[in-house]
């Protein structure tokens, strides 16, 4: 299966690989997937307390090229958004942007799950109720 | 000067040796006769070529030419052996013993036989990929008509103890079939010394063309028969009808002849290169070899790189180096390799595996380049892996509740 240029681009030059301090109160960490499934994503957001904007996002992923690209793209999209805007990121937007074939759609679903998990972690730390999400739909 | 891409997936298929192609060409154009045309020179020429190949194929495995049935490949030979014996020996019994790391061509055929009323025992292999001989013997019963164990495994290269297996089978009067696709032409295989009654092989794994293979069916001590699965004219002694793929068969024969002469020196050369590759990659932390290191093919290594996923790993160099992986992401079914799972490997290590299959045209330069690229890519992906970070921090990953979905 040939990869799209965009997936290759993220794989070769991932933008936001790294780790934020998960103990800080303005950092939200989402860890999703499982080693047995071959896909684990850790996505972190750092929220600017004054403005409410996500000023930094970092990821690390154990997974295939599409999984790496999906999580890398997610961190790019998260930066500069508010937490409420970030919640709206939909996996199909990732699929379209990266031209993911049907067999790789689940990678985008996992990225969306990672975003939501990071947001919920941040909310929990800051005394906000965690958001309930419907089961992600795989198109 | 390295030429790209480098091919290190010889277990999947092999290029035709130029000498094989040269031998085949006349049979496409000038000598194009149907080997069954008994009444004119076109047919006689074709038949002569086929019979010469039959001898070359037989010689490679220590058989008599009359015992070779040409097929479209090993998958067809597997089908013919299993279904053919099941049907032919129905009055004797309906039980087949095989193992759980066989190729799908054997496993799926066994599943089909189960639907037809057959009983199949799938022996479990040990962590080295080897069948347990005591368990094998214990599984034999009065209704057992066949033991089907592969000579060498395609994913991990493990070579089964065929002599011991056939000794047990002989003792109990059960036929032995082996899918020797990965072994023939790479290591010495002798149907008499190894006590084999049926054997499947294919040309495209030994520098011959795709689309042609053979089933060896023993004629003496004992005389084995199989019920044809393809009817229509009674070719190949009634066991496999259909016009023979003359050019393919000619290529197959030539490939066998070349293996006969070059196998020993090739195995020495390739095992040295394989060891170099393996030792260099094992220098990486948390790298593990899958399958027996003592009982295996000389040109294969299957290595897991913990905390890095196989498809992602291959993406780092697959435009330049061709290998394959046991990762789920590389399979159409999204299931990780059942062979690696059968070894008792955790799924995460199955996802992290790469299989390297060296071949006749592999050079040391190619191996050096591969060592460099794979090492670089493993390190790069580990920097990006949350699991590697956790491992380095001493986190016990078995204690984490992963969110499955």
- Give me the CATH number covering residue A18: 3.90.1010.10
The yes or no reply on domain B6-11+263-399 and CATH 2.30.40.10 is: no
Q: What per-residue confidence (pLDDT) applies to A35?
A: 85
Cα(A62)–Cα(A32) distance, rounded to whole angstroms?
A: 11
Any chain B CB within 8 A of the CB of A2? no
pLDDT given at position A137: 46
In a domain, A82, yes or no: yes
Phi first, then psi, for residue B104 (nearest 5°) are: -55, -30
pTM to 2 decimals?
0.92
Q: ipTM of the assembly?
A: 0.90
> Cβ separation of A60 and B384 shorter than 8 Å?
yes
pLDDT at B31: 94
**In this complex, which of A11, A38, A40 lies closest to B386 when CB atoms are compared?**
A40
Number of Cβ atoms within 10 Å of the Cβ of B284:
16
Q: Which residue of A has its CA nearest to B307?
A: A62
Q: For residue A36, is it within any domain?
A: yes
Average pLDDT over residues A45-56: 93
Which strand (E) or helix (H) includes residue B369? helix B364-383
pLDDT tens, position by position, A12-32: 998 899 999 999 999 999 999
Q: What is B18-258's CATH number, 3.20.20.140, 3.40.640.10, 3.10.20.740, 3.60.15.30? A: 3.40.640.10
- Mean pLDDT value of segment A52-81: 95
Q: Do domains B6-11+263-399 and B18-258 have the same CATH topology?
A: no
Among A residues 17-36, those touching chain B with beta carbons less than 8 Å apart:
17, 19, 31-36
Which tens digit of pLDDT belongs to each residue from B269-284?
Answer: 999 999 999 999 999 9
Q: pLDDT per residue over B42-57, tens digit each? A: 999 999 999 999 999 9
CA dist B243 and B236 (Å) reads: 10
pLDDT on residue A138: 44
B329 belongs to the catalytic site: yes
pLDDT confidence bin for B262, thresholds 50/70/90: very high
* Mean pLDDT within A109-126: 94
Looking at every residue in chain B, the average pLDDT score rounds to 95
Q: Is residue B207 a contact partner of residue B259, using CB atoms and an 8 Å limit?
A: yes
| pLDDT for the residue B330 | 67
Query: Per residue in B200-238, pLDDT tens?
Result: 999 999 999 999 999 999 999 999 999 999 999 999 999
Residue B404 confidence (pLDDT): 55
Q: What integer pLDDT is reported at residue A134 of this predicted model?
A: 66
CB contact under 8 A, B386 and A63: no
> Is some CB atom of chain B closer than 8 A to the CB atom of A121?
no
Please tell me the total count of domains within chain A.
Answer: 1
Q: Which residues of B touch A31 (CB under 8 A)?
A: 386, 400, 403
Alpha helices in B33-99 (DSSP H): 41-61, 74-88
Residue A131 resides in a domain: no
Nearest to B348 among A36, A68, A109 (CB): A36
Instruction: Measure the CA–CA gap between B253 and B240, rounded to whole angstroms.
Output: 18
- pLDDT at residue A1 in the model: 52
Question: Domain spans of chain B?
Answer: 6-11+263-399, 18-258
**Could you say which of A8, A37, A128, A138 is catalytic?**
A37
The pLDDT value given to residue A100: 93
Active site residue A107: yes
Domain range for A90 is 5-124
Confidence band for B405, pLDDT divided at 50, 70 and 90 = very low
Q: Which of residues 46-75 of A touch B (CB under 8 A)?
A: 60-65, 67-68
């Amino acid at each position: 299966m040939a990869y799209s240029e965009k997936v290759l681009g993220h794989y070769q030059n991932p933008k936001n690989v790294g780790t934020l301090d998960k103990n800080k109160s303005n950092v939200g960490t989402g860890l999703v997937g499982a080693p047995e499934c071959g896909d684990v994503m850790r996505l972190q957001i750092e929220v600017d307390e004054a403005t409410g904007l996500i000023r930094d996002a970092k990821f690390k992923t154990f997974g295939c090229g599409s999984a790496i690209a999906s999580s890398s793209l997610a961190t790019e999209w998260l930066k500069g958004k508010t937490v409420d805007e970030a919640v709206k990121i939909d996996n199909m937007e990732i699929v379209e942007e990266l031209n993911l074939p049907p067999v790789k759609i689940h990678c985008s679903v996992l990225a969306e799950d990672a975003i939501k998990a990071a947001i919920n972690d941040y909310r929990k730390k800051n005394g906000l109720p965690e958001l309930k999400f419907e089961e992600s739909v795989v198109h | 000067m390295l030429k790209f891409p480098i091919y290190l997936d010889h277990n999947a298929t092999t290029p035709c040796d130029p000498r094989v192609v040269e031998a085949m060409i006349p049979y496409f154009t000038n000598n194009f006769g149907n080997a069954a045309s008994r009444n004119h020179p076109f047919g006689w020429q074709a038949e002569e070529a086929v019979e010469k190949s039959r001898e070359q194929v037989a010689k490679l495995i220590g058989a008599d030419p009359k015992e070779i049935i040409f097929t479209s490949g090993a998958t067809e030979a597997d089908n013919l052996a299993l279904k053919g014996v099941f049907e032919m020996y129905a009055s004797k019994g309906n039980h087949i013993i095989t193992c759980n790391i066989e190729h799908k061509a054997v496993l799926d055929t066994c599943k089909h036989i189960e639907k037809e009323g057959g009983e199949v025992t799938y022996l479990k292999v040990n962590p080295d990929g080897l069948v347990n001989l005591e368990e094998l013997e214990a599984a034999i019963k009065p209704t057992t008509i066949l033991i089907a164990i592969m000579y060498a495994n395609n994913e991990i290269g493990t070579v089964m103890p065929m002599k011991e297996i056939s000794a047990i089978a002989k003792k109990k009067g059960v036929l032995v079939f082996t899918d020797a696709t990965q072994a023939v032409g790479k290591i010495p295989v002798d149907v008499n010394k190894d006590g084999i009654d049926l054997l499947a092989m294919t040309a495209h794994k030994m520098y011959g063309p795709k689309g042609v293979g053979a089933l060896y069916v023993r004629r003496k001590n004992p005389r084995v028969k199989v019920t044809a699965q393809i009817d229509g004219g009674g070719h190949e002694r009634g066991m496999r009808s259909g016009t023979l793929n003359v050019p393919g068969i000619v290529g197959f024969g030539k490939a066998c002849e070349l293996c006969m002469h070059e196998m020993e020196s090739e195995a020495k050369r390739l095992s040295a290169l394989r060891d170099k590759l393996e030792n260099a990659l094992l220098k990486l932390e948390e790298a593990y070899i899958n399958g027996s290191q003592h009982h295996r093919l000389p040109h294969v290594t299957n290595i897991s790189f913990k905390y890095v996923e196989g498809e992602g790993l291959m993406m780092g160099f697959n435009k330049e180096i061709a290998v394959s992986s046991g990762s789920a992401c590389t399979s159409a079914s999204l299931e990780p390799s059942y062979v690696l799972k059968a070894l008792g490997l955790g799924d995460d290590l199955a996802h992290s595996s790469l299989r390297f299959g060296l071949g006749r045209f592999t050079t040391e330069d190619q191996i050096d380049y591969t060592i460099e690229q794979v090492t670089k890519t493993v390190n790069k992906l580990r920097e990006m892996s949350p699991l590697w970070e956790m491992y380095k921090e001493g986190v016990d990953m078995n204690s984490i509740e992963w969110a499955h979905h």
